[in-house]
Amino acid sequence: MFRREYLYSLGATLGSVALQGMLQHELNASPADDAKQPHHTPRAKRCIFLTMEGGPSQIDTFDPKPKLKELHLKEFQRSGERISAMASGKRYYVQSPFSFTQHGESGAWMSEKWQHLSKVADKLCFYRGLQAESINHPTALYHINCGNRFGGDPAVGAWANYGLGTLNENLPGFVVMPDLSFPQGGAANWGNGFLPAQYQATALRPQGSPILNLTPPKGITKEHQRANLDLLGALNNKHMQKHPQADLLAARLDSFELAFRMQDDVKQVLDLGHEKAQTIEEYGLKDKATAKFGKKCLYARRLLEHGVRFVQLYASTWDSHDYIERAHGKLINAVDRPIAALIQDLDQRGLLEDTLVVWCGEFGRSPDNGVRGGIAYGRDHNAKAMCVWMAGGGVKAGQTVGATDELGDEAVECVHPIRDLHVTLLNLLGLDDNRLTFFHAGRFKQLSQFGGKVIKELLA
């Protein structure tokens, strides 16, 4: 087995975290080296990608459509390639069950459920012109995460990691925090694709220890570990002198050393014991409804502080085909307070200015749906209208860019595909999508697949 294949098989423990730094040193002569400096002056040094898996409804979050109130439960006809199996039978217009209010000096529209995020409205830039290309969850998730609807390509975070590297060699450059149930498409949503393996994300476990084997067995001190590693190294180095091509042995030694060094760093980052009680309260860790996502948000801030370049957080089950009021109401409540706390915390610590925060799903939702049981109103998938918001890192704070039609069915102003959003994110991080390439399968490949445009209206 080749050395790189062995490293890739280390598994989802501390060894998989050690793999990131280990391969970084192994591939010093790789094409990635020339890309460790940004292509131009970056607006953001790091990124937090808040992924609302399942497709949040723009109509019930940040894009009010009063026209639907007068059309509520009137029959709606949909035709063309956008129709799906779920759209069979009679369809009806569905008004939002939530009222909307404008907030801040910017007058940003938010539904009533965003009680905490509304307090930082002027820090946000809402974009209503984005369009996806798929109405199926797996392909749409691959697209928003990897730029390719069919999977197998590097994730956005992997590209950022490849282009810029980590700011702390003892921690990975790309960390993801999924829910217990992985998003459709699984770990390929944060994989390295055809890039070298060290650029994949390190996933933190949602239950139990975030990373396995962080703590040595009882009775084993750091001195014991150091002595064992020194002895092992001395014996193996003698063997390597006789067999200088023993890459597999060298890989083992490197992995042991890096895992040893990382025990302190990783534990320090993930130890919330030193956080102030007020901070724990603000992130919602004492409330069962918000504790899970609140912990992810607090971890994200701490990871960024310690040099991780790209952090992705998942909040799942936004696929509200019925009972939109109950389903979306509960989901918004779970993320509202933690996200607002994250924005405020980054701002107070002086990190928001050069940290890009992105909130999005894989597509939007339709203004219509079938009627189940007479009152179970929900929404179908909709690739032609979705809302994204961004904060910090060079975006135009306190602005709403783009628009959808009066029903929220299709973007009609400042319309751009997902590849343009990706190009814009890279641009804010100081990277040029046309120069951030990797030679694979006979051609140079890039995140946007075949090029895209920066959405200049989003830039400060």
Please state the rounded mean pLDDT for residues 377-403: 96
**pLDDT tier at 246 (50, 70, 90 boundaries)?**
low
Q: Which residues contact 191 (CB under 8 A, 6 or more apart)?
A: 146, 152, 154, 155, 158, 200, 201
As a whole number, mean pLDDT of residues 306-327 equals 95
Q: Does residue 30 carry a pLDDT above 50?
A: no
216-242 in b/e form (b: 16+ CB < 10 A) is: eeeeeeeeeeeeeeeeeeeebeeebee
> If we measure between CA atoms, which residue out of 33, 47, 56 comes closest to residue 391?
47
State the pLDDT confidence band at 57, using cuts at 50, 70 and 90. Answer: very high
Separation between Cα atoms, residue 171 and residue 167, nearest integer Å: 8
Mean pLDDT along residues 375-394: 93
pLDDT 10s digits, 365-374: 999 886 655 5
User: Which residues in 292-314 are b (16+ Cβ under 10 Å) and which e?
Assistant: bbbbbbbbbbbbbebbbbbbbbb
In this prediction, residue 414 carries a pLDDT of 98
pLDDT in tens, 85-135: 455 567 889 999 999 999 999 999 999 999 999 999 999 999 999 999 999
255 or 280, which is more confident: 280
In 10 A of CB 39, how many CB atoms? Answer: 17
Give the length of the chain: 460
pLDDT at res. 92 = 87
The model carries a pTM of 0.86
pLDDT band at residue 169 using 50, 70 and 90 as cut-offs: confident
| pLDDT value, residue 261 | 63
CA–CA dist 77, 73 (Å, integer)? 12
What is the bridge-based pairing of β-strands 386-391 and 124-131? antiparallel
More confident residue, 52 or 10: 52
In 3-state terms the chain splits into helix, strand, coil percentages (rounded to 5) of 40, 15, 45
pLDDT tens per residue across span 418-443: 999 999 999 999 999 999 999 999 99
Q: What is the mean pLDDT of the chain?
A: 87
CA 172 to chain CA centroid, Å, is 15
Q: How high is the pLDDT of residue 5?
A: 41
In tens, the pLDDT along 294-303 reads 999 999 999 9
At the top level of CATH, the class of 3-458 is alpha beta
